[in-house]
Structure 1
Amino acid sequence: MNRNPYFNYIDEKLHVLARRIETRGKLNMLDLHLHSENFYLHLLNLLYGYSLENLNAKLQNVEAIDLIDHTNKIVVQVSATCTKQKVESALSKKLMNNYKGYSFKFISISKDASDLRKKTFKNPFSLAFVPTTDIVDITTVLNTTLSKKAVEIKEVYRFIKEELGGEVDVVKLDSNLASVINILSKEKWDETNESESVNSFEIERKITHNDLKDSKDIIDEYCVFYKKVDEKYSEFDTSGVNKSTSVLRSIRKEYRNLKNSGTADFVFQEVIEKIKEKVLESPNFEEIPIDELELCIDILVVDAFIRCKIFENPQNYNYASS
């Protein structure tokens, strides 16, 4: 398969969006789904030459139909749920009787739909619907993109870059942040790895100094792993000079961007979310369960807090035990 850098970027960003939708995490799912509707509206128009518009922008909470193209007579449902029941539920809505002569398309925005395309469906209002071609997933979109000319692929890239952000790397560089998460994910984080290498009184002083109330429990729980994280950073640095420094700088950069955006607890949680997004977007990230990923990121951010990389330090703060 021809894999130019623009296509690589498109592939990566679509899968990152799918993972965010699937894992949900602390994201506002409604906002994310609405964003996905509009994102796919423009993407499908670009790829297939449709004239789709968002029906929910005109009529709130329309059942079964999210996007509509009156010119080409197409109705579309955009969904994070990829099941036969979901498709049949849409096709059976009385609203569909208003769209006889239209074709129905189902867009799966987070799940692979290859098995769904093999099924047969009840279609009581007889909309034009061929599952093999009218059920679309990320693989379908990528294959369609790949069939385009280079100039058209670049146009898709420009659209996705504007919508989802970031720059294409012609040569993909490993993400140090993802690499250290990969290392941490192989550890067993229990009492056997707890240590007394930090001064708990000093950490408590810093928590109070920054008025961290809701985040206190996370810091108290994971500060005991400071020594183990330090060992893992040393292990990580053997593969390159001061690579752990770039990880701590990444966390500090997110903190600086967010430090004036709300309460201290809000900023602490948002730093965690931003680091999670960075890791999920990295081509170097090894897939692990979302709860394990969040555990590793909590530990890393708490460690950065202890090491004076984020939040203000009280006078004469000294986190290391003597």
Structure 2
Amino acid sequence: MIRKDDFDIIKCKLEFLAYQIEISGRLNLLELNNHAEDFFAELMNLIFDWKLGNVNKNASNVRGIDLVDTERQIIMQVSSQSESTKIQRSLDKIDIEKYCSYNFKFLCISKNASSLKRNSYKIPDTICFVPQDDIYDIPTLLMLIKRLKSNSIAKIKDFIVKELNDRNTLSFPKMQSCLADIVNLLALEPLQENESFQPKNTYKIDHKIEFNKLSTVRDYILDNAIYSDYLDDLYSEYDKEGCNRKLAIFNKLKSIYTQLFVDYEDNNALFFAVQEKVKGIVVASCDNFAYEDEILDLSVTIIVVDAFIRCKIFREPFGEFYAFTE
């Protein structure tokens, strides 16, 4: 289905861009953020039919805002920070005489910003700002894009593919993620369909499934838990190639789970959302994954289930000790 294929490309590209921006921010490499202002101005224009332009092109570092649409009286701050203090500082710095009656919007381009919508802010009297409606992040943009007509989605896909390619200044050389490495290695393993052994600590896995209300995916988890032994060997070999790689993978999985947790009331849906996020990172960071989509899905599933067993994602039942936590 062309519509789905176009959206999947958009999703993978935007999620990996957010990942790049987050990592660059940790390293204090902020050049990508500057390029991102123009990119997201054009993206928002395509989604909403606005006419946002970068105010910093004509005047350096305009206080409190990065983008403006004078026709629709919209001002926007684009930031990689997902903090209420960042929004408040932006509101405090706005030139309220120049932008009287303008609608202020905030776009977080690297992290989930849904929690910021519940906070209270001191809003200048002459500025319109409704946190629930005017705070955006990548998941919000994806949700809005998904609702558009097919021709609009195709147009956004073409724009993103053009902008986020290896020749464009917005991109930098792809960083092969540790998750992609493990997926590639796991795809080479001759997994047996009918394993004679049973998952370790099955009764404790069941307890954790029940504790986290994951009854819908129980069998799915147990069916794939038997492959954790393969990952034990792969992680051991992989760590020999560089320090802390297994730890980096577990920390990334926990970070993905933590970021998605606030968006899902149903843990069964959250489980699959974690899988999709991991798959997106792998696809976006790996140019040479030479296996079928089903093999990719299987490898990602085994990694996520293994992280569940090791208590890297989802809550551990109170009073329980899991030996399988390495």
**Shift in Å, 1:186:** 2.2
Provide structure 2 residue ranges, at least 5 long, that are not aligned to the other structure. 167-178, 187-230, 244-281, 305-326
Aligned to 2:43: 43
| Alignment pair present for 1:187 and 2:191 | no
Matched residues, percent identical? 33
**Shift in Å, 1:134:** 0.4
Distance (whole Å) between structure 2 residues aligned to residue 60 and residue 46 of structure 1: 25
**Shift in Å, 1:165:** 2.4
**Shift in Å, 1:29:** 2.5
Distance (whole Å) between structure 2 residues aligned to residue 65 and residue 156 of structure 1: 24
Distance (whole Å) between structure 2 residues aligned to residue 43 and residue 185 of structure 1: 40
Question: Which of 1 and 2 has greater Rg?
Answer: 1
**Shift in Å, 1:27:** 7.3
Aligned to 2:76: 76
**Shift in Å, 1:281:** 11
Paired residues of 2:16 and 2:285 also in contact (CA < 8 A) = no
Paired residues of 1:13 and 1:281 also in contact (CA < 8 A) = no
Aligned to 1:278: 285
Letter in 2 for 1:111: K
Aligned to 1:217: none
> What is the aligned residue count?
200
Distance (whole Å) between structure 1 residues aligned to residue 98 and residue 133 of structure 2: 23
Cα distance change, pair 117–69 in 1 and its aligned pair in 2 (3 A): same
Cα distance change, pair 40–280 in 1 and its aligned pair in 2 (3 A): farther
Q: Provide, for residues 83-132 of structure 1, a one-character-per-residue CA deviation record: whole Å limited to 9, x for no partner.
A: 11000100011523321110000001011111111111111343111111
**Shift in Å, 1:148:** 0.7
Distance (whole Å) between structure 2 residues aligned to residue 44 and residue 155 of structure 1: 13
Distance (whole Å) between structure 2 residues aligned to residue 40 and residue 135 of structure 1: 14
Distance (whole Å) between structure 2 residues aligned to residue 106 and residue 90 of structure 1: 9
Provide structure 1 residue ranges, at least 5 long, that are not aligned to the other structure. 167-174, 194-221, 225-274, 288-322
Task: Tell me the TM-score normalised to structure 1 length.
Answer: 0.54
Task: Tell me the TM-score normalised to structure 2 length.
Answer: 0.53
Distance (whole Å) between structure 2 residues aligned to residue 48 and residue 160 of structure 1: 16
| Alignment pair present for 1:67 and 2:70 | no
Aligned to 2:133: 133
Greater shift in the superposed pair: 38-47 or 157-166: 157-166
- Aligned pairs for 1:50-199 (under 5 A) are 50-93=50-93, 95-165=95-165, 177=181, 179-180=183-184, 186-187=235-236
For the aligned residues, what is the CA RMSD? Answer: 3.6
